[in-house]
Amino acid sequence: MHQVDILIAGGGMVGAASALAMAKLGLTVVVFEPQAPQPFSAEQPMDLRVSAISQASEQLLTQLGGWQGVATMRSAPYRTLETWEWQGSQVGFDAHELDMTHLGHIVENRILQLSLWQAMETHPNITLKLGQAPSRYWQDEQGAYALWGGEEYQGQLLLGCDGARSAVRQAAGIGVSGWQYRQHCFAINISTEAEQQEGTWQEFHPSGPRALLPLSGQHASLVWYDAPEKIAQLKRLPTAQLKQAIQAAFPERLGEFDIEQSASFPLTRQHAKAYFAGRMVLLGDAAHTINPLAGQGVNLGFKDVATLSKVVSDAVEKGQPIASASVLKAYQRRRHPDNLAMQSAMDAFYLMFSNDHFPLKLLRNTGLALAQRSGPIKTQVMKYAMGL
């Protein structure tokens, strides 16, 4: 039996950040991850899975030593964010309004994971177990356990950072509520004639929004939300015809581009009915998935990491058991309502803008125009979106 303080299922972005946060408290950590991220090479094509990393997430990851590696690889800071349905009714956010250089960064998920792994691999308190996932998780009054490669591991806590189909959540007997949205997401990486862009934008349509996320250099990610059958039709198009469809569907500001690669995935909302059971704790997608409309998904996971780290740190300072119900209830009490509020806000946007009824279109565009002129309220919304 290998005994440590913390077992972590999943070495993705949230799992790796959790490992660094727990190790920073002086706790010993074992991370189980079936597959290490592919090493970085500047010649590699851009990944299709990207995230909009908020200022608050950047600050957390910098404190953990997991952000610095991103600068040695690639990312794209964005200074402005615009969203609209009707021209003239757009709402725009600019980092200069807050005396900041940028609102956040668009980063390929693998790049951020690699940066976190660089910090994990050099930390003396962290052990990585690669090649396969544990075949079993269980718990009793003495600890939480994982069976990996015929060996048993025991920890005071087992953190489930293993995604929306979490095996830890299943082992803990925690149920979920949720549904699939009536839209799929089509992600298309392009090379652009324009230089690296410093703004991200999103245009609403009743069939679903269409957005541009800047990537490093003369590259960008287009995101097209639409009905599953429409996305399936787009995926079947030859490259030349797909480009024509994009030019017809996206605003002229897109400019000249070439398609590099594309992929689609369904949109799902899911929320765990509890964030812990006994010594098993859920973070990130294992606890909640959200409509990616505002790019808040992984930022919510990093908020989970920050909150769990704080309550565990407080317990360590007070000499309390880190797996006590009072500690884990504090984590759940702080994170569950915030995640639920963000899910509900994204659902409200989704429902409001997926309706083609003219009075409602007039109402929502009037609302966007008023939001643009709302002054302090707009500033607070911008700070909230940045996690500040």
Domain ranges across the chain: 2-43+110-178+269-353, 182-268
Burial 274-291 (b: 16+ CB within 10 A, else e): bbbbbbbbbbbbbbbbbb
The angle, 0 to 180 degrees and rounded to 10, between the axes of the packed helices 325-353 and 297-318 is 160
C-alpha 183, offset from chain centre: 19
Tokens at 70, concatenated: 């991103």
Element spanning 244, H or E? helix 239-249
The confidence score (pLDDT) of residue 124 equals 97
2-43+110-178+269-353 shares its CATH topology with 182-268 = no
Burial 166-199 (b: 16+ CB within 10 A, else e): bbbbebbebebeeeebebbbbbbbbbbeeeebeb
The confidence score (pLDDT) of residue 88 equals 66
Averaged in consecutive runs of 10 residues, what is the pLDDT profile of the chain (388 residues)?
97 98 98 95 92 93 96 93 74 82 93 97 97 97 96 98 97 94 92 90 88 94 95 97 97 94 92 98 96 76 98 96 97 95 76 58 54 58 60
Q: What is the identity of the amino acid at 255?
A: G
The confidence score (pLDDT) of residue 214 equals 95
- Rounded to an integer, what distance in angstroms lies between the CA atom of residue 252 and that of residue 104? 25
CATH code given to domain 2-43+110-178+269-353: 3.50.50.60
User: Could you give the residue ranges of the DSSP H alpha helices within 291-357?
Assistant: 297-318, 325-353
Burial 28-61 (b: 16+ CB within 10 A, else e): bbbbbbeeebeebeeeeebbbebbbbbbbbbbbb
- CA torsion sign for 26, 278, 117, 214 is negative
Matching residue, tokens 């992984």? 298
Q: Please, which residues have CB within 8 angstroms of residue 175's CB and are 6 or more apart in sequence?
A: 272, 273
CA distances from 200 to 45, 124, 245, 350 (A): 20, 39, 21, 19
CATH 3.30.9.10 fits 182-268, yes or no: yes
Q: Please, which residues have CB within 8 angstroms of residue 324's CB and are 6 or more apart in sequence?
A: 315
